[in-house]
Amino acid sequence: MQIAVAFTLAVGAAPPASAARRDPVRITRFLGEQRLSHLLKFQDTTVGGLSGIDRDPATGTWYFISDDRWRYNPARFYTGRLEFDSETGEFVGARVTGVKTLTRADGTPYPAYGQPGAADPESIRFDRWSGRLVWGDEGDRPDGRNPAIPISAAGVRTTDVLGRHIGELRVPPNLRLTETESGPRRNFGFEGLAVTENAIVGVTEGPRYEDGPVPSVERGAPARLTVWNRQGTARAQYAYPLDPLPTAPIPPGGESDSGVSEILAIDDNRYLALERSWIQGVNYRVKLYEIDLRGATNVLARDDLAQGMPYRPVTKRLVQDLGAFRPPTQNLESLAWGPRLADGTCTLVIGSDDNFDQREVTQFLAFAATGCP
């Protein structure tokens, strides 16, 4: 991978517990909500499925990645502006300003859904230390319900701001997609990304087959959070403990889908995490956590978390239960730091993926926060 940083994060185990601790992140007030129109047309594309957002602090440009898998257009990201009142901090506007197609190493767009090599973009980060974009591709694989789906490799990739492929990180063997009940489940691959000066971090949405069953009302499950150095080599992996489902589906035995939908760096040790559940008959439930890697067990070399030696997962602290905020709760999938307010307070933006479904919305929620970078 070609990332223009010449040092390595030495992470063979968890960060030292003695590292200096900062104030926890706290949300202090709500700044407002903005929405984009359903199936908004922009430069011959259909805007929707925005599953990751980030901001270039130098220019104020926002990046929005779409998980449209060529239902409407090829894999792509948008640029835009989210606007705040400079005096009050009120969140006053959201607009799209540009669109770029994501291309492969040969310069061609990614194939459409159901074809080998198709992309499923789920997260995007502007890497201010290299000036490039990092994006997460959940990939695809067959399962019992979709036996004909070919394998499309999951990955964490780099691109320039025009969407041209630059490189990718080396995916640990335990996160490679397979045709058997091993490795990550379908739609439970790379879902969230974070970038720091020293590392790139990715998290799977849910548990691998070897790590146990998916969350239920009775129990949670471990997702895997992987830390790469700047040269693209995985140095550590930690278990993220997903909560049990907050309530049972309606009717009993109905469907559910629960996991981490995004992470955001606070520093090299601490991250925010969106934990989102969709429960049949209930709709979405979302919580925002602050997590800390210090003291967690490095499980990079462990293929099975359901059995064997015990391990210590990352620690979690609830920042905000978003499940009752601005009901009905949307499919919140994106998380990014916005500009600082006049009083020095940070802004935090949480966005939703509308799934191109008229029953859902593309929504941005903005909050003032303390304890941020």
User: What pLDDT, in 10s, does the model give residues 156-214?
Assistant: 999 999 999 999 999 999 999 999 999 999 999 999 999 999 999 999 999 999 999 99
The arithmetic mean of pLDDT across residues 244-254, rounded, is 96
Model confidence pTM above 0.95: no
pLDDT on residue 21? 58
So what's the pLDDT on residue 308?
85
Share of the chain above pLDDT 90, in %: 92
**Residue 75: inside a domain:** yes
The pLDDT tens digits of the residues spanning 286-331 come to: 999 999 999 999 999 999 999 989 999 999 999 999 988 889 999 9
User: Any idea what the CATH number is for the domain that residue 300 is in?
Assistant: 2.115.10
Q: Give the model confidence (pLDDT) of 321-368 as tens digits.
A: 998 888 999 999 999 999 999 999 999 999 999 999 999 999 999 999
The pLDDT score that the predictor gives to residue 1 is 32
Which stretches within the chain are classed as H helix?
none
Assigned domain for 210 exists: yes
Q: Tell me what pLDDT residue 12 has.
A: 36
Residue pLDDT, tens place only, 101-130:
999 999 999 999 999 999 999 999 999 999
d(CA 99, CA 166): 18
15 in a domain, yes or no? no
Instruction: Answer whether residue 15 shows pLDDT above 50.
Output: no
Identify whether 74 is part of a domain. Answer: yes
**Residue 2 domain flag:** no
Cβ–Cβ under 8 Å, residues 219 and 211: no
Tokens standing for 253?
């035995």
Q: What's the whole-number mean pLDDT along residues 247-276? A: 97
- Residue 220 domain boundaries: 29-370
Cα 168 to the center of its chain, rounded Å: 17
In a domain, 224, yes or no: yes
For residues 61-81, give the mean pLDDT.
Answer: 98
Q: What's residue 86's pLDDT?
A: 87
Q: Is residue 329 part of a domain?
A: yes
Task: In whole angstroms, give the CA distance from residue 188 to residue 173.
Answer: 16
266, 372 contact by CB (below 8 A): yes
* Residue % of the chain over a pLDDT of 70: 94
Tokens 């000066």 sit at which residue? 197
Does residue 115 or residue 6 have the better pLDDT?
A: 115
Across all residues in the chain, what is the average pLDDT? 93
Say yes or no to pLDDT of 14 above 60.
Answer: no
Residue 215 has pLDDT above 50, yes or no: yes
Residue 139 has pLDDT above 70, yes or no: yes
Can you read off the two tokens belonging to residue 234? 């995985």
The DSSP secondary-structure symbol of 160 reads: -
Question: What residue has token string 């506007």?
Answer: 93
Contact status, residue 255 vs residue 248, Cβ threshold 8 Å: no
> What's the structural domain count of the chain?
1
Q: How far apart are CA 120 and CA 139, in angstroms?
A: 5
**pLDDT-derived band at 6, boundaries 50, 70, 90:** very low
316 found inside a domain: yes
Radius of gyration of the chain (CA): 19
Q: If we measure between CA atoms, which residue out of 200, 243, 203, 201 comes closest to residue 224?
A: 203
**Per-residue confidence at 96, pLDDT binned at 50, 70, 90?**
very high
Q: How far from 257 is each of 79, 113, 138, 242, 246, CA to CA, in Å? A: 29, 21, 16, 12, 12
Question: Both tokens of residue 137?
Answer: 């591709």
